[in-house]
Amino acid sequence: MTDRIPTSKDVVEFLNERFAARGLPYRIDQIAVLPYVSPMWLANWDVPQLENAPEREVIEEEIREARWRFPQVVEEF
């Protein structure tokens, strides 16, 4: 049995669905993925595309949820 490692595309799809569900106008095209996997299972990705968005509190809440679901991803685009 092999477990599929989540990809950056999985995170983008998840966040875009969550933003749409909350009625936010934001959609992302990609995330920044670090070139390594953290041995402590800290998230190896970030969303620099939304750094200056005004609804930071709601956006950060969704990003925290996504990091919990997808702590480690591989680049796929």
Q: Tell me what pLDDT residue 28 has.
A: 96
pTM of the model: 0.85
Q: Tell me what pLDDT residue 39 has.
A: 66
* Spatial distance between the Cα atoms of 15 and 18, rounded to a whole number of angstroms: 5
Q: Quick one: average pLDDT of 18-40?
A: 87
CA 69 to chain CA centroid, nearest Å: 9
Q: Tell me what pLDDT residue 71 has.
A: 87
